[in-house]
Amino acid sequence: MRTWICLVFGAATLMAAELNVKRVVLFKHGVGFFERQGELGPGESARLDFKSEEMDDVLKSLTVNVQGGGAITGLRYDSSIPVQDKLAELPFPTGERLPLSTLLDHLRGSHLEMKFGAQTVTGTIVSSRLTAAKDSGERETVTLLTNEGDIRVLDLSAATSVRFLDAKLQLQFKDYLATMLQARSRERRSVYIDSTDAGRRNIQATYMAPMPVWKSSYRLVFPASGDPTLEGWAIIDNTTAEDWTNVRLALVSGRPISFISRLYEPKYVQREVVELAEESAAKPQVHAGVVGGVPGGAPGGVIGGIIGGARGKAMAAPPAPAMAGREMLADMAEARAEFAPSNLNVATEGREAGELFEYAFSQPVTVRRGQSAMLPFLQQKVSARKLLIYSDESSVHPRSAAEITNNTGKTLDGGPLTIYDANTYAGEALMETTKATDKRLISYAVDLGTRISTVFESNERAVREIKATRGFLTTRTAVRETKTFTIKNVDARAKTLIIEHPVRPGYTLVAMKETEKTPTAYRFQVNVPASAEMKFPIEEERLIEQTNSITSLTPDFLGQFVSNRALSAAARQQLQTVLDKKREVVEAMRGEQDAGKQIEELFRDQQRIRENLSALNRVTGQQEQVQRYSRELSDQEAKLSALRDQQSQLRKRRAALESEIAALIEKLEF
C-alpha cells in the first residue's frame, strides 16, 4: 500500500484564519478597494490569497488594524521566485504523486522517529523502497539503523506517525509541502498576517487590487406632461476567486491618479566589479614601432438587481405562438399604454468624496464569483427640454435632442442613455459624466421633418489699422466670412433648434452673440416657426497682420497707405512727407539713368568717328573731312563732360534724399 506525501501535508501545515470580504468599493480607473474582517486566535496567522498580477497593488496599499488592542508582529507573503528554483534549494525530490518511500530514500542518513501505536522506533534512514507483495500488491518499507544498533525493516503503512528528528529538516519539509501546494496553484499568492497576542482579536485588512471598471447605463423616460424620469443602473463584475456575500458595496465616479509600481518582483542593483591591481595577473603589452613620433588609446427588493454569468451569453426567449385576433388586439392596446419607468428599490446614498463622488448601497449585496450584477443606483425626476441640434453638416437633417439639467444633487457617471418618448422607444445617446447643477445636450434620433442647407461667402479685405514703429509699417486687414443656414420646417409645429458652429482660431463673431459656447463650438438657439422656411447667417471676421520695411516700399505702394481711411491725419502727414521724398529719389534716379543713356550713345558715336578717321588718314585728299570729324569729336567731349557733371549732381542729390528719408523713417511713430 502506497503512502502519499499529500497525506502528511495536513499535519505539517498550520491552518490559517479566514478574513471574509465585508466591503467593496469599485472605481473607474481599474482598481477596487477591499475590506476584510475576521478573528485571529492566539499565535494564529491570517491568510489572504491573491493572483500574482494583483500583488503589486496589494503590497502598495495593504493596511492592517487590530480591534480591541494588540499588535501585528509582521506580514509574510509568497515570493515571486519560480517554484522550480525554490524546490531546487530543498533536499527533497520533485514530481507529482511521490510515494513517501521515495522521499525517505532520498533522505538517507537523516534521523527519523516512527510510532506504531504505543511503540516508538528512532533511528537513521538506511533506505526506503516500494516493493511488490503477493497479498497486497505493493508494500512500502523503510530500513532504519536504530539507536540500539539494530537494522530493522519497518512497514510504512503500519506507522501512525512519522517525524524527522532534525528540527531544520522538519522546517524544510514544511516549506517543501507549501511550495508543492503553490506549484499546484500557480496563480495564487498568499499574504500571511502573524500575531503573537495571547487572546483572540478581531482584525481588519484593507487593500487595493486590479478590478474591471464598473459601468453605468441610463433610461430617460418622458411622460405625457411634466419632467422626465432618469433611471440609472450600475453594471459590476466579480472577477475575484471568491463570492461577495452580503458585502457593503460602493461605486465611485471619478478618476484619481493610479499606477503600477513593481514591488512584488525582487529588484537587484547592478554593481561594478572592482579589483586591486595586484589581485590580477599582468597582461602582455604590445608596443608599436616608432615612425617619427612618440606612439600613443449584488440581491432582492422590488427589483434588487439583475445577475448573470460574467462571460455568459444572454439566451433569447423562444418565439411566442401565433396569437388569435382577440389576443393580438389586447396586446396592441397594452402597447399603447404609457411607458412607465421601472419599479426600482433604489437604496443608495450619494456623497462627495473630495474630487470624486460615491454611490454607497445601503443594503448588502451578493455577487457570486465569475458572475456580474446590474444594480439600480438612481431614479429621480430631472429638468429636461426637447429640442433639435445641428452640428453635422454632412447631413441635411438635424437631430432630435434633449437638454438635461442635473438637479439630482448627485454626480451622474458617464454612460449610454436609452430614451423613451411618446410611449415608445425614441433612440439612444451617450452622456458624459455630469456634476450636480451642470447640464448636457444629448442627441438620440434624426429629425426628418427639418432640412438644413448652408452657403458660404467671403467678403473683400478691409484695412482696419496701420501702425509705424522703428522703420516698419504694420497693417491689420479684416476678412469677413458669412455662413448662412437655410432652415425648412415641414412639420406643423414650432421647433427650437440649436446650431453648433465650430470655433476657429483667429476668427471672431461680428454683430452677434452666441447662446452658449463649448471648448470647440458656438451654440446659437433659433426658434423655427411651424411649416416655415428661414435663414440664419453667422458672420465672422479674421484679422491678418502684415509687417513691411518702409524703406523697401515703393512710392506707389506707400501711396495706397497714405490714402487709406484707417490712417489718422497726423500719421498721413508723416507718411506723405516720406512719400514726397521717395518720389524725388525716383526722379533723381531717372535723371541719372537718362544721363547714363546719353553718355553711352556718345561713346558709341565717338567710336564710329574714330574708325572713320583711321580710314581717311590712309587716303590722300581727305583732309577737309578729317578736320570735320575732329571738330565733331571735340564737341562730343564737351557734351560728355557736361553729362558726367549732371550725373554726379543727381547722384549726390539722391544720396542726400535717401539720408533725409532714413531720418524721417527713424522718427516715424504712430
**Which residues form the domain of 192?**
6-108+163-210
Among 446, 462, 489, the domain-final residue is 446
Which among 15, 44, 95, 2 has a CA at the least distance from the CA of 197? Answer: 44
Which among 215, 214, 217 has a CA at the least distance from the CA of 417? Answer: 217
Per mean pLDDT, which range of 100-114, 272-286, 502-516 is the poorest? 272-286
Q: Residue 257 has what pLDDT?
A: 83
**DSSP string over 510-556:** SS---SEE-SSEEEEEEEEPTTEEEEEEEEEEEEEEEEEEGGG--HH
Among 500, 529, 551, the domain-final residue is 551
- Higher pLDDT: 641 or 22? It is 22
- Backbone phi, psi, residue 251, to 5°: -120, 135
Q: Residue 296 has what pLDDT?
A: 44
What integer is the mean pLDDT of 391-407?
A: 92
What integer is the mean pLDDT of 452-461?
A: 85
Inside any domain, residue 327? no
Q: How confident is the model at residue 375 (pLDDT cuts 50, 70, 90)?
A: very high
Q: Residue 137 has what pLDDT?
A: 67
Residues 197 and 48 in one domain: yes
- Find where cell 491573491 sits: 50
Residues 544 and 560 in one domain: no
Residues 534 and 411 in one domain: no
Q: β-strands 188-195, 72-77: how paired?
A: antiparallel
Q: Residue 366 has what pLDDT?
A: 95
Per mean pLDDT, which range of 33-47, 48-62, 135-149, 171-185 is the poorest? 171-185
Q: Residue 182 has what pLDDT?
A: 61
Which pTM was predicted?
Answer: 0.63
Inside any domain, residue 196? yes
How do residues 432-441 score in pLDDT, each as one tens digit?
A: 999 999 999 9
Report the distance separating Cα 524 and Cα 507, nearest Å: 16
Residues 405 and 537 in one domain: no
Residues 228 and 91 in one domain: no
Which CB contacts under 8 angstroms, 24+ apart, belong to 351-358?
A: 352/411, 353/252, 353/254, 355/254, 355/256, 356/252, 356/253, 356/254, 356/256, 357/252, 357/253, 357/254, 357/410, 357/411, 357/413, 357/435, 358/25, 358/250, 358/251, 358/252, 358/253
Q: pLDDT at residue 193 above 90?
A: no
Q: Which residues pair with 236 in a beta bridge?
A: 373
Q: Residue 16 has what pLDDT?
A: 65
How do residues 309-363 score in pLDDT, each as one tens digit?
A: 444 333 333 444 444 444 443 444 444 456 677 887 777 887 877 778 888 998 9
**DSSP string over 138-182:** EEEEEEEEETTS-EEEEEGGG-SEEEES-HHHHHHHHHHHHHHHH
Inside any domain, residue 437? yes
Residues 406 and 517 in one domain: no
Residues 511 and 612 in one domain: no
- Higher pLDDT: 372 or 584? It is 372
Q: pLDDT at residue 553 above 50?
A: yes
Inside any domain, residue 78? yes
Residues 406 and 464 in one domain: no
How do residues 524-552 score in pLDDT, each as one tens digit?
A: 999 999 999 999 999 999 888 888 888 88
Q: How many CB atoms lie within 10 A of CB 293?
A: 6
Per mean pLDDT, which range of 259-263, 284-288, 434-438, 555-559 is the poorest? 284-288
Inside any domain, residue 428? yes
Inside any domain, residue 563? yes
How do residues 494-506 score in pLDDT, each as one tens digit?
A: 999 999 999 999 8
- Residue 167 corresponds to which cell in the numbers above? 528540527
- Residue 129 corresponds to which cell in the numbers above? 523502497
Inside any domain, residue 489? yes
Residues 576 and 466 in one domain: no
For residue 60, give the amino acid letter: K
- Find where cell 520533485 sits: 94
Q: Residue 317 has what pLDDT?
A: 38
How many domains, in total, are found in the chain? 4
Which H or E run includes 26?
strand 20-26
Residues 358 and 230 in one domain: yes
Q: Residue 477 has what pLDDT?
A: 84
- Higher pLDDT: 626 or 20? It is 20
Report the distance separating Cα 160 and Cα 114, nearest Å: 8
What integer is the mean pLDDT of 173-193?
A: 70
Q: Residue 400 has what pLDDT?
A: 93
pLDDT > 90 in the chain, percent:
30
Residues 567 and 629 in one domain: yes
Report the distance separating Cα 519 and Cα 504, nearest Å: 11
What integer is the mean pLDDT of 624-647?
A: 82
Residues 242 and 348 in one domain: yes
Q: Residue 218 has what pLDDT?
A: 95
Inside any domain, residue 155? no
Among 210, 231, 247, the domain-final residue is 210
Chain mean pLDDT for the chain:
80
Q: pLDDT at residue 287 above 70?
A: no
How do residues 458-506 score in pLDDT, each as one tens digit?
A: 876 777 778 888 888 888 888 889 999 999 999 999 999 999 999 999 8
- Give residues with Cβ within 8 angstroms of 58, minimum separation 6: 48, 50, 191, 207, 208, 209
Q: Which one-letter DSSP state was computed for residue 474?
A: E
